[in-house]
Structure 1
Amino acid sequence: MSPSKPGATTATVRRVLQTQIMPVDRDLDVLPLYVDPDPAVLDADKYNVGGDKGAKELNKASLRQSVSSGTMIHPDQIVDRHAVRIEQGERLSFGSYFNAFPASYWRRWTIVEDVRLAVELHGRGASVTVYKSMANGRSQRVSSQQVEDGAAGGTFVFDLSLRPFADGGWYWYDVTAGDEDAVVSAVWDAEVPADRAESGSVAVTITTMNRPGFCSDLITQLGSEDDVIAILDTVFVVDQGTDKVRGAAGFAAAEKALDGRLRVIDQGNLGGSGGYARGQLETVKAGTATYALMMDDDVVCEPQSLLRAVAFADLARRPTIVGGHMFSLYSRARLHSFGEIIQTWRWWWMSPEHVLSEWDFAARNLRSTRWLHRRVDVDFNGWFMCLIPRQVLDEVGLSLPVFIKWDDSEFGVRAKAAGYPTVTFPGAAVWHVPWTDKNDALDWQAYFHERNRLIAALLHSPYKHGGRLIQESVNHSVAHLVSMQYSTVELRQLALEDVLAGPDGLHEALPHRLADVNAFRKQFSDAQLEADPDAFPPIRRKPSRRGHSELEVPSKRSQIIQAGLMPLRQLRKPRALSREFPEGEIAAMDAKWYRIARYDSAIVSMPDQTSAALYTRDPELYRDLLKRIADLHLKLYRRWPELSAEYRSKLPEITSPEAWEETFRPWTEADAEAADD
């Protein structure tokens, strides 16, 4: 906002910030994210727990204990998308993830200073009570109103200040039905400058690869509500697979619902970064959308999330990236993380210290969870749902050409350095397959994890040699090595070699690097997966003298000792019987380095539970890889300052629209030729 002249008045209008919503499909699994029928049972304050280690561990365990009674409204009580019926004499709280108002985020990042809550109640004797919370989770009653005697209902308005929310806190309301069932709906709005009244428009980019059904369903969700369609400029579906989204059963209806806003772009598999960069490029070139929204193809979207994210971004103090949260597609009230930062000394993504990951709102909802009330500031947001102002793309460039992994986090760090913050915004979310059910630390993605993490650190680490990153890279490679995961170690070595080669080849490698990586790793037995358990020889091993379970988690001291001894053990000659018969079977959940390293051969199942691989210890390969690990990491350490300078100097060039246009040329030219025919 530009400052007004003394005595001048600025025209203002009311703008909706958030509306009460209920689940689209009346799904009982997600109802805890929308309403909370239980009383609040707030956990202990950490300052009351104190610094005693035992007390802290006990409190940490208690935080995960369920306080839910299991009570839940019946799906038939959901009147429609915005209204719910509360049975006579019952009380229902809207202090939930999707219906509480995240006051501290609006206070910190936007120009909004006061909000108005308008609750529409129908039902004799019904009442509404408004609450607010402090950053430490304690709640305070703000105000209450009731349907007057003899009246059938009414609209109750509460004017609420955002001033007392500097560090955290929410607003919410509870509704109690009186002499009969009550029906409730509500709207949060604010007085905003007239030049902020109109909603910005959104160009959505969905990158898809052989998930036509999933992607078609997502397009359907985006076109399911008129108010969401109204803010859509274009929906780009960048189809990089062979099983095309156009062939999905529901695609035609989804396309029709978007009324000309859908554009499907076919191109080769350039990974997530190539798909998102294509949408970013098209958005920048068109120049019509206010925002570019990155979204995965395998998500289920809460459509109102788009409206909330756009309203927040429209009213932000400065151009701001607005990200959504990710809930599990399989346990739908479970939140992956409430926000993510980069720990710069390690150069690794993580949740802030006080954030508890994999949080189950069905067990302990917002009003009963103290840490959820403190505002969480982040460095980036994953591109499973992330709204980026077009202005930011214009000024800091497009995605890095890194195929997959670290493209979203690097962009967030880059934008932040240019003065554009990222806010992971409560009340905006998607449901996604959780990372814990994937195998991306061991399979072909291990190459991209290692290479792209190093590239991001070279670009942005404030430390001369990347802090602890190189040491951690050595540790992780050795851990994979003693675990007989030779293909993973080889891919990590290949990643280091490519990093040392510099940034010039990143665009050129994009179309073929995945194929190269997959072809390379196939030569290793630990990369050859079998779905049939009978594909492996039977287990045979000399009986162990151990009198305790090998599945016990060793102490920290024991792990440190094993970290010193296990690398030495790998030099010994393997037991003869292990060459013909695996010595054991290891479940994915137990496949830790300190357990795998005890065996000379083992069948290890994969995290997705669909297959397993035979791991076989090879002392000669171990010696060779150990030497190469040391040599390459020493070379990286010595060259870090010059490499960092080179990557940083070329960052504007490799993320420029011009560089990406050249990368996309084989497909854009093919499209142009097809259009001429």
Structure 2
Amino acid sequence: MPSFTFANILLESNPRSENYPGLYCRADRALSLNPQDGFWMLTGAGTFDFTTYFNSLSVMKLLKYTTATHFRLHIELRGSACTIMQTTTDQFSKESVPVEETAVHLDAGDDWQSVDVDFRITDTTVLAGFVIETEGAVELRNGYYELELSDDPHDVELVLATTTFKKEGFVTGNIELVRRNIVESGEDIADHFNMYVMDNGRTLDKEALDSDRITIVPEGNVGGAGGFTRGMIMALEQNPPATHVILMDDDVAISPESIKRTYNLLRILKPEHEYSMISGAMLNYRIGEDQCEDTGYMGPRGDFLPCKPMLRMTLLDDLIYNEMFEPSKDMRTALYAGWWYCCIPTDMIRKNGLPLPVFVRSDDTEYGWRCKPEFITMNSLCIWHMPFQEKYDAAVERYQTTRNPLISQFTTGFAPESDFIYAMHNKLRLELKKFGYTNAELVLDGFEDFLKGPRFIEQKGMAERTFLAANRNKEKLMTFEELQKVAERDPVLKGFDIRKIDRQLIDEDSPRTYTERLVDYVTDNGQRYIRTSGDGYAVIPLMGWVYPAGAIRGKQKLVVLDWYARKGAIRTKDAERYRAIRKRYLRDMRYYRAHAARLREEYAAARDKLTSIEFWKDYLDMN
């Protein structure tokens, strides 16, 4: 049986590993790196458990998806006397269990000693790892997991494609990590890897950043969909052609080891799993141990939902939950993998075509649904992403998320159980109840552009022009200092002091009686049927999905704050503007009901064109 090195024991030295060491090792002692000699020190007598997010072995999934039949740990140590042994977990574990029969004892010594531990696996093993019990300081290096396979590994040519728009701080750091740890690693992946960076803002220094197997591609602002599509086309047309392409966001931090393990996983998949997408997890850039999502699905009301709850990746029971989770039947009707980190077989692209030209939002969800692949997730395959609530953008959340799911559903049949008309209606009502008239108009802008049919969106440059227009038309925010000056001139906001505002005040709500709830529903917060000018003001969060119904009822003005960005706006109840927007909405709905069948036929007929290489090459000026 062939042997195969699958994963390096990962011990990074960066702020993340210092703040969240439990992602790498659990211990009552510190670990420190000697960067000159490239080894780690376990400082003092203690127990060091490596059954962690990055350093445990996903035995259950490897047995399910790959040709692995046996597992082995290799590691080199020197220093004080110590004992190394395998650990194991099952579906109910909260702590790892040492496997005493695998224990290897080393006497103290100044020379490096190699240890190989053959793992003992049972039918209930979910994760396996190892523990080192030391009598004093011990240094370690060159640790890795080796697998025995029933078949020879496959040949894989891997592309990493990322699209950026003026995110130089993130992108240049990731390029350097890839160059140093993958391209120059001397490992097998180095000869079968290319990174393409689609620079939509044309702000990267191509001459300085281009290197062997890393290419900066300046292009127009064609959004994430356009940038990722160019990456797909380049992957298909390079020599030799790529077998797989990883699509990755720009505002992320990476661990190169995740990319290496993705490559290794692809090489050993069983034939029945070779046509799978690998969905990397999104961990929280601000709270590095928290997993936000790995796979998601479209809910019946047209909302984007994570399959799993928020998980903490320093807790062993959460690691096990993460490995064992199976999407429900309802989730599987519209399952997707986000393109913050998603690995797609190029054969899947050849079979199903390219993404839709929707700029941003719904490109990844629609494509995952269209291809209907098996999704593989695994602990340690991840990136760290800025939390969505820290970058709320009405141009995206009101214009794009109204227009694009409808385009997707009508073109390819995307998420047939999801009601995107309801989602549009709900977004509109939320904005109107919170006096967000400007952003309510963005919702209708997106709906009306969808109603124009496929000939509208297929126009070259239209995706960028409409997105730029949405950014111009969205609600304008002021800095806290500017907002305070405006508030001081407004008699309704008398007493408002930004210095006395905190998150508790912004986030809190007030209870309502059943009658109050009924009145608010019928009148849209005093703007319909029974119109009231309102009294006083409330302070609420900016995020569009938040509905502090008790806090806003009966108010004349609302101060909406984005405390992440330290910006906000002042909204005033305006029954006449409310009525104009409602009138526009009802007109749009009459048109939709009269023309829905025709639109569905036109979008469906445009599918082959909009997802073809010929269309996209012209759209991206690649001819």
Instruction: State the TM-score bracket (shorter-chain normalisation).
Output: 0.7 to 0.9
Where 1:499 maps in the other structure, the secondary structure is helix
- Asked if the contact 1:127/1:144 (under 8 Å) is kept, the reply is no
Q: Deviations over 1:620-657 (max 9, x none)?
A: 12112223334434654665565445434432321111
- Return the match for 1:21 from 2, 10, 24: 10
**Counterpart secondary structure, 1:553:** coil
- What is the CA-CA distance between 1:568 and the residue it aligns to? 5.3
Quote how far apart the aligned CAs of 1:220 are.
0.6
Amino acid at match of 1:628: R
**Aligned AA (2:104):** Q
Query: How far, CA to CA, are the matches of 2:367 and 2:122 in structure 1?
Result: 31
Pairwise CA distance, 1:303: 0.6
By how many angstroms is 1:534 displaced?
4.1
**Corresponding residue number in structure 1 for 2:526:** 569
Q: Deviations over 1:521-551 (max 9, x none)?
A: 6467x3354552345232533999xxxx996
Partner of 2:476: 527
Aligned equivalent of 1:147:
105
Q: Contact 1:145–1:156 at 8 Å: present in 2 too?
A: no
Aligned pair 1:265/2:217, yes or no? yes
- TM-score, normalised via structure 2 length: 0.84
Q: Cα 1:654–1:323, aligned 2, differ >3 Å: closer, same or farther?
A: same
* One-letter amino acid matched to 2:4: R
SS at match of 1:599: coil
For structure 1, the 5+ residue unaligned runs are 1-11, 38-70, 670-677
- Of 159, 170, 190, which aligns to 2:127? 170
Q: Is the 8 A contact 1:111 1:315 kept in 2?
A: yes
- State the match for 1:239 in structure 2: 199
Deviations 1:19-42 (A, max 9, x none): 1011143641242211112xxxxx
Aligned residue for 2:499? none
Structure 2 distance, partners of 1:556, 1:602, is: 18
Deviations 1:268-290 (A, max 9, x none): 11100011111111111225222
Q: Secondary structure at the match of 1:541?
A: helix
Preserved contact between residue 273 and residue 402 of structure 1 (Cα < 8 Å): yes
Letter aligned with residue 148 of structure 2:
E
User: Aligned pair in 2 of structure 1 residues 141, 623: CA closer, same or farther (>3 Å)?
Assistant: same
**Against the structure 1 CA distance between its residues 93 and 150, is the aligned structure 2 distance closer, same or farther, given a 3 Å change threshold?**
closer
Is 1:111 aligned to residue 71 of structure 2? no
Report the CA distance between 1:135 and its aligned residue.
Answer: 2.8
Using the aligned pairs only, state the percent identity.
Answer: 20
What residue ranges of structure 2 are gaps of 5+ in the alignment? 496-504
Is the 1:91–1:175 contact (alpha carbons within 8 Å) kept by the matching residues of 2?
Answer: yes
Query: Are the equivalent residues in 1 in contact too, given 2:71–2:119 (CA < 8 A)?
Result: yes
Q: Which amino acid aligns with 1:470?
A: I
CA contact (8 A) 1:125 1:146 kept: no
- Partner residue in 2 for 1:661: 617
Q: Distance in 2 between matches of 1:367 and 1:211?
A: 36
Q: Which residue, out of 66, 80, 94, partners 2:50?
A: 94
- Please give the alpha-carbon distance, in whole angstroms, between the structure 2 residues aligned to 1:245 and 1:597: 48
Cα RMSD (Å): 3.4
Distance 1:567 1:501 in 2: 29
- Equivalent of 1:351, from 306, 331, 343? 306
**Which residue of the partner structure matches residue 390 of structure 1?**
346
Q: Is the 8 A contact 2:561 2:568 kept in 1?
A: yes
Task: Give the letter aligned to residue 285 of structure 1.
Answer: E
Indicate how the Cα distance of structure 1 residues 657 and 403 shifts in structure 2: closer, same or farther if over 3 A, else same: same
What residue number does 1:372 align with? 322
CA distance in 2, matches of 1:450, 1:585: 26
Alignment deviations for residues 52-93 of structure 1 (CA, whole Å, 9 cap, x no partner): xxxxxxxxxxxxxxxxxxx56243478976x53223421111
What amino acid is aligned across from residue 298 of structure 1 in structure 2? D
State whether residues 2 and 152 of structure 2, in contact with CA within 8 Å, keep that contact through their aligned partners in structure 1.
Answer: no
Per-residue CA shift, 1:115-159, capped at 9, x if unaligned? 323343434531123222223445554443122557774413214
Of 212, 236, 241 in structure 2, the residue corresponding to residue 284 of structure 1 is 236
Q: Deviations over 1:551-591 (max 9, x none)?
A: 64345876854651551502466649x8xxx8454454896
Q: 1:503 matched to which residue of 2?
A: 454
SS of aligned partner of 1:335: strand
Change (3 A) 1:589 1:277: closer
Could you tell me whether the CA contact under 8 Å between 1:294 and 1:383 is conserved in 2? yes
CA pair 553-618 structure 1, distance change in 2 beyond 3 A: closer
Distance 2:597 2:29 in 1: 58
Residue among 398, 416, 425 paired with 1:446? 398
**Partners of 1:203 and 1:542 in 2: how far apart?**
55
- Please say if 1:341 is aligned against 2:296: yes
Matched residue of 1:536: which SS? helix
Could you tell me whether the CA contact under 8 Å between 1:29 and 1:333 is conserved in 2?
no
CA distance in 1, matches of 2:483, 2:10: 47
- Give the alignment partner of residue 488 of structure 1, picking from 428, 433, 439: 439
Counting only pairs closer than 5 Å after superposition, residues 119-268 of structure 1 correspond to structure 2 as 119-137=75-93, 139-142=96-99, 143-148=101-106, 153-161=113-121, 163-164=123-124, 169-178=126-135, 180-183=137-140, 185-192=142-149, 195-196=152-153, 198=155, 200-225=156-181, 226-227=184-185, 230-242=190-202, 244-246=203-205, 252=208, 254-255=209-210, 258-259=211-212, 261-268=213-220
Q: In structure 2, how many angstroms separate the alpha carbons of the residues matched to 1:639 and 1:164?
A: 56
Work out whether residues 483 and 569 of structure 2, in 8 Å CA contact, stay in contact via their aligned partners in 1: no
Letter in structure 2 aligned against 1:266: P
Q: CA deviation at 1:192?
A: 2.9
- Counterpart of 2:265? 312
- Number of residue pairs aligned between Structure 1 and Structure 2: 589
